[in-house]
Amino acid sequence: MTTGRQQWDGLATGMALATLDAASGYGAIADAALGWRDGRLTYVGPRAGLPGDPATLAREVLAFDGGWITPGLVDCHTHVVFAGDRAGEFEQRLQGADYAAIARAGGGILSTVRAVRAASEDALLAQSLPRAHALLRDGVTTLEIKSGYGLDYDNERKLLRVARRIGTELGIEVRATFLGAHALPPEYAGDGDGYIAAVLDWLPRLHAEGLVDAVDAFCEGIGFSPAQTRRVFEAARALGLPVKLHADQLSDLGGAALVAEFGGLSADHIEHTSDAGVRALAAAGTVAVLLPGAFHVLRETTLPPLQQLRAHGVPMAVATDCNPGTSPLLSLRQAMQLACTHFRLTPEEALRGATLHGARALGCDDRGVLRAGLRADFVHWRIGQPAELGYWLGGELAAAVFAGGRRVA
């Protein structure tokens, strides 16, 4: 409940806590207090249990008038750094075109690639920072950002550099994921193996610059084959980098089982994952990342294997998949609501998915719950009960957002 007796940097009182520090339930504490020092939580518990007068315990005391504090939200799958938009494709899909057909006609990911290649690093930051800031204002304190819209060395590097700059600008932790194997660029048309060879050349150079925290790929009929994905994963493993995968979104190519074989952090999308794939995730301890924004925008009808995931104890994260084509979603809380509506997650499952399990999908074991000793990442919400976070469609519910004990929104 508490660590140390030195004066804390901050102490919050006058609210309830949803600690999530239990196997089930919200871990609720009414009339609670939360203390922190040097970016770590020092006290999580009832106000009556504080080891002294609040005024003497902390240099700053925040006396809230109700509401709830939860762990900071963790958006573990985004493509938030990009240039331009694809609103025109949204119109095309509404008129009957499907995502795969648009991609084959030169739209989709490749249209964003053209825009990214034409933008300077500063211009790319200027376009992307407001999107990341919107996620922050709605409670996100840890953000994953993928590359994958450059598809050559210089532009993949540019995307990863912008991801790092966003973390510095916003004062939150950004995990940068190399997604060079996202799509086949025009200069490699018809030569997927040749392009993968280029990706394998870029990866150690980008890693040596400190730009890569994890490696991802798009294993799909319109992306890369399991054999090509395996080559990427083997290269990542040789560098000691964890892997993730866009798996089984449009068809079942065994992607979930493949990423589980490599002890991957997460298998993402997984609408078409088989029972064997779910069992592989369970055995490997790999997180299933649900992306209801893309499911919603693409008007998909095949649900992820939710009952099997529950039955086999696979942790389920929830993320925005913020991207210009299939999930232009700027609120992780809205992703939670969509997960409840489309996938029938309970509000508690959705909140755990956007905190504890989202952190696990990034390999972060120092956040996602409120517990003394962990990072002081937390959000004070204007709500009367935690279920409201999966209930409201829109609105401004975050009253204050803290990352590492500093207020950032």
Instruction: For residue range 303-347, list pLDDT tens digits in order.
Output: 999 999 999 999 999 999 999 999 999 999 999 999 999 999 999
Residue 399: CB atoms within 10 A of its CB come to: 17
For residue range 137-165, what is the model confidence (pLDDT) as tens digits? 999 999 999 999 999 999 999 999 999 99
Q: Region of 344 please: left (phi>0), alpha (psi -120 to 50) or beta.
A: left
Proportion of the chain above pLDDT 90, given as a percent: 91
Residues of the chain with CATH 3.20.20.140: 73-361
H or E element in which residue 300 lies: none
Task: Write out the binding residues for N-formimidoyl-L-glutamate.
Answer: 149, 323, 325
Q: How far apart are CA 166 and CA 160, in angstroms?
A: 10
What is the separation of C-alpha 355 from the centre of its chain, rounded to a whole number of angstroms? Answer: 9
What confidence tier does 89 reach under pLDDT thresholds 50, 70, 90? confident
Residues of the chain with CATH 2.30.40.10: 8-71+369-407
Q: How far apart are CA 360 and CA 366, in angstroms?
A: 9
User: Residues 273, 278, 283, 286: what is their CA dihedral angle, to the nearest 10 degrees?
Assistant: 60
- 8-18/28-37 β-pairing: antiparallel
Task: Write out the binding residues.
Answer: 77, 79, 86, 149, 182, 246, 249, 321, 323, 325-326
Proportion of the chain above pLDDT 70, given as a percent: 99
CATH 3.30.70.20 assigned to 73-361: no
Q: How far apart are CA 293 and CA 305, in angstroms?
A: 17
Tokens representing residue 83 in the block: 């240039």
Contact by Cβ (8 Å): 295, 335: no
Contact by Cβ (8 Å): 366, 395: no
Q: Is the Cα dihedral 271, 273, 275, 281 positive or negative?
A: negative
Q: Which residues of 84-121 are buried (b: 16+ CB within 10 A; e: fewer)?
A: eebeebeebbeeeeebeebbeeebbbbbbbebbbebee
Q: How far apart are CA 126 and CA 139, in angstroms?
A: 21
Task: Write out the binding residues for 4-imidazolone-5-propanoate.
Answer: 86, 149, 182, 249, 326
Average pLDDT in the 66-86 region? 97
Tokens representing residue 161 in the block: 């550099």
Q: Which CATH superfamily is domain 8-71+369-407 in?
A: Urease, subunit C, domain 1 (2.30.40.10)
Q: How far apart are CA 121 and CA 172, in angstroms?
A: 20
Helix 109-118 × helix 153-170 angle, to 10°: 80
Average pLDDT in the 191-195 region? 98
What confidence tier does 120 reach under pLDDT thresholds 50, 70, 90? very high
Task: Write out the binding residues for Fe(3+).
Answer: 77, 79, 246, 321
Task: Write out the binding residues for Zn(2+).
Answer: 77, 79, 246, 321
- Beta strand segments in 291-355, E: 316-318
- 68-71/378-381 β-pairing: antiparallel
